A and B are shown apart, each in its own frame.
Chain A
Amino acid sequence: MAKLTLCSDWLDVCSGCHMSLLDIDEVLVALLDSVQLLSTPITDLKHPPEEGADIGILTGAVSNDHQEAVAKRMRERVKILISMGDCSVFGGICAMRNFFDAEQVLQYAYTETDSTAPGQQVPRSPEIAKLYPKVRPLRDVVKVDYYIPGCPPSANTIAYVLTELVAGREPKWTDELLRYG
Chain B
Amino acid sequence: MGQKITIDPVTRVEGHARVTIQLDDSNQVSQTYLHIDQFRGFEKFSEGRLFFEMPSITPRICGICPVSHHLASAKACDVVAGVEPPRPATLLRQMLHMGQIVQSHALHFFHLASPDLLFGFDADPAIRNVAGLVQVNPDLALKAIRLRKYGQEVIRHLSGRKIHMNWAVPGGVSAPLSEASRDAILGDVEEMIGIAQAGISVAKEWLGANQDVVQRFANFPSMYMGMTNQGALELYDGPVRLIDAQGNQVVEFDGADYLDHVQERTEDWTYLKFPYYKAMGWPEGVYRVAPLARLNIADHITTPLANEELKSFKALAEGPVQATLYYHYARLIEALYGLEQIQVLCHDEDILSEDIRNTRTHITGHGVGVIEAPRGTLWHDYHTDENGVITRVNLIVATGNNNWAMSNAVDMVAKEFVKGSDVTEGMLNRVEAAIRAYDPCLSCSTHAVGQMPLIVEVTDANGERLERFVRN
| B-binding residues in A (CB < 8 A) | 10, 12-20, 22-23, 25-26, 29, 32, 36-38, 40-47, 63-64, 66-67, 70, 92-94, 96-97, 99-100, 104-106, 108-110, 113-117, 120-125, 127-129, 131, 151-152, 155
- Docked-complex contact B63 and A42, CB < 8 angstroms: no
Bound Cα distance from A125 to B40, whole angstroms: 17
Q: List 19 A-B contacts (CB under 8 A).
A: A14-B63, A15-B14, A15-B444, A16-B64, A18-B63, A20-B162, A25-B145, A42-B11, A43-B11, A43-B452, A63-B38, A108-B44, A110-B266, A113-B264, A114-B394, A115-B275, A125-B269, A129-B39, A152-B63
**Contact at B471–A41, with CB atoms within 8 Å?**
no
Option from B148, B265, B448 in Cβ contact (under 8 Å) with A43: B448
Measured in the bound complex, the distance between the Cα atoms of B43 and A10 in whole Å is 22
Residue pair A127, B41 in contact (C-beta under 8 Å): no
Asked if residues B449 and A36 are in contact (CB atoms below 8 Å), the reply is yes
Listed stretches B54-62, B248-256, B352-360; interface member: B54-62
Chain B contacts of A96 at CB under 8 A? 45-46, 57
Residues in A neighbouring B107, C-beta threshold 8 A = 22
Beta-carbon contact of A127 and B448 below 8 Å = no
Residues of B within 8 A of A127 (CB): 20, 33, 35, 269
Contact present for A42 and B445 (CB under 8 Å) = yes
| Cβ-defined contact, A43 with B262, below 8 A | no
- Asked if residues B14 and A115 are in contact (CB atoms below 8 Å), the reply is no
Confirm or deny: B205 has a beta carbon within 8 angstroms of a beta carbon on chain A.
no
Find the A residue at minimum CB distance from B445.
A42
Nearest A residue to B265 via CB reads A117
Smallest Cβ distance from A80 to chain B, in angstroms? 18
Are B62 and A15 in touch, CB under 8 angstroms?
Answer: yes
Check if A97 sits within 8 Å of B45, measured CB to CB.
yes
Q: Are B38 and A129 in contact (CB under 8 A)?
A: yes
Partner of B444, one of A41, A44, A122, A151: A41
Tell me how far the C-beta of A52 lies from the nearest C-beta in chain B, rounded to whole angstroms.
14
Does B202 lie at the interface of the complex (its beta carbon under 8 Å from any beta carbon of A)? no
Is A128 within 8 A of B445, CB to CB?
A: no
CA of A44 to CA of B163 in the docked complex: distance in angstroms? 25
Report how far A32 CA is from B11 CA in the complex, Å: 20
Q: Contact: A42 with B264, CB < 8 Å?
A: no
Q: Which of B37, B45, B152, B395 sits near A100, CB closer than 8 Å?
A: B45
A101 CA / B447 CA spacing, docked (Å): 38
Contact A38 B16 (CB under 8 A): no
Looking at chain B's contact residues, the main secondary structure is loop
Contact A45–B449 (Cβ < 8 Å): no
Evaluate contact between A152 and B450: CB separation under 8 angstroms: no
Does B125 reach chain A (CB closer than 8 Å)? yes
| 1/0 contact string of B247-281 vs chain A (CB within 8 Å) | 00000000000110011111111110101000000
19 new A-B contacts at CB < 8 Å, known A15-B64, A40-B448, A94-B40? A10-B15, A12-B40, A14-B60, A15-B62, A16-B164, A18-B63, A22-B444, A25-B149, A32-B449, A36-B450, A97-B40, A105-B45, A113-B393, A117-B263, A121-B266, A123-B271, A128-B35, A128-B36, A151-B60
CB <8 Å contact, B43 and A113: yes
Whole-angstrom distance from the CB of A131 to the nearest CB of chain B?
Answer: 6
Out of B149, B266, B452, B471, name the residue touching A123 (CB < 8 Å). B266
CB < 8 Å neighbour of B264 from A108, A117, A128, A155: A117
B134 at the interface (CB under 8 A from A): yes
B396 close to A (CB within 8 Å): yes
Q: Is the CB of A109 within 8 A of B41?
A: yes
User: Is B460 part of the binding interface, using a Cβ–Cβ cutoff of 8 Å?
Assistant: no
Residue in A110, A128, A152 whose beta carbon sits within 8 Å of that of B37 in the complex: A128
Q: What residues of B have a CB within 8 angstroms of the CB of A15 in the complex?
A: 14-15, 62-64, 444
**Would B273 and A110 count as touching, CB distance under 8 A?**
yes
Instruction: Please pick, from A16, A45, A104, the residue contacting B450 in the complex, using a CB distance under 8 A.
Output: A45
Contact among A16, A43, A100, A124 with B449 in the assembled complex (CB-CB below 8 Å): A43
Which of A10, A23, A117 has the largest count of B CB atoms less than 10 A from its CB? A117
Contact for A151 among B43, B164, B269, B446, CB less than 8 A: B164
CB distance from B278 to the nearest CB of A (A): 8
A151 and B16 CA atoms in complex are apart in Å by: 20
Report the nearest A residue to B455, measured CB to CB: A46
The answer to whether B60 touches A43 (Cβ under 8 A) is no
Q: How far is the CB of A31 from chain B (nearest CB, A)?
A: 10
Contact of A29 among B36, B145, B273 (CB under 8 A): B145
In the bound complex, what is the Cα–Cα distance between A32 and B43 (angstroms)?
40
A32 to B446, CA, bound (A): 14
**Nearest A residue to B130 by beta-carbon distance?**
A42
Assembled-state Cα–Cα distance A58/B445 (Å): 16
User: Does any Cβ of A come within 8 Å of B199's Cβ?
Assistant: no
B273 — which chain A residues lie within 8 A by C-beta?
A: 110, 116
User: How far is B451's CA from A67's CA once the two chains are assembled, in angstroms?
Assistant: 23
A66 to chain B, nearest CB (A): 5
Cβ-defined partner of A20 (8 Å) among B15, B148, B163, B381: B163
Does B187 have its Cβ within 8 Å of any Cβ on chain A?
A: no
Q: How far is the CB of A21 from chain B (nearest CB, A)?
A: 9
B9 neighbours in A (Cβ, 8 Å): 46
Pair A120/B265 contact, Cβ less than 8 Å: yes
Which residue in chain B gives the minimum CB-CB distance to A38? B450
When C-beta atoms are compared, the residue in chain A nearest to B6 turns out to be A127
Q: CA A29 – CA B145 in complex, angstroms?
A: 10
How far is A113 from B203 in the complex, measured between Cα atoms in Å?
Answer: 40
Q: With the chains together, A69 CA to B266 CA distance in Å?
A: 26
> Provided the pairs A14-B60, A42-B447, A151-B60 are in contact, do residues A115 and B41 lie with their beta carbons within 8 angstroms?
no
| Residues of A with C-beta under 8 A to B63 | 13-20, 152
Query: For B152, what are the chain A residues with a Cβ–Cβ distance below 8 Å?
Result: 23
Collect the chain B residues with CB atoms within 8 Å of residue A13's CB: 15, 63
With A100-B44, A120-B266 as given contacts, are A19 and B8 in contact (CB-CB < 8 Å)? no
Q: A26–B57 Cα gap in the complex (Å)?
A: 30
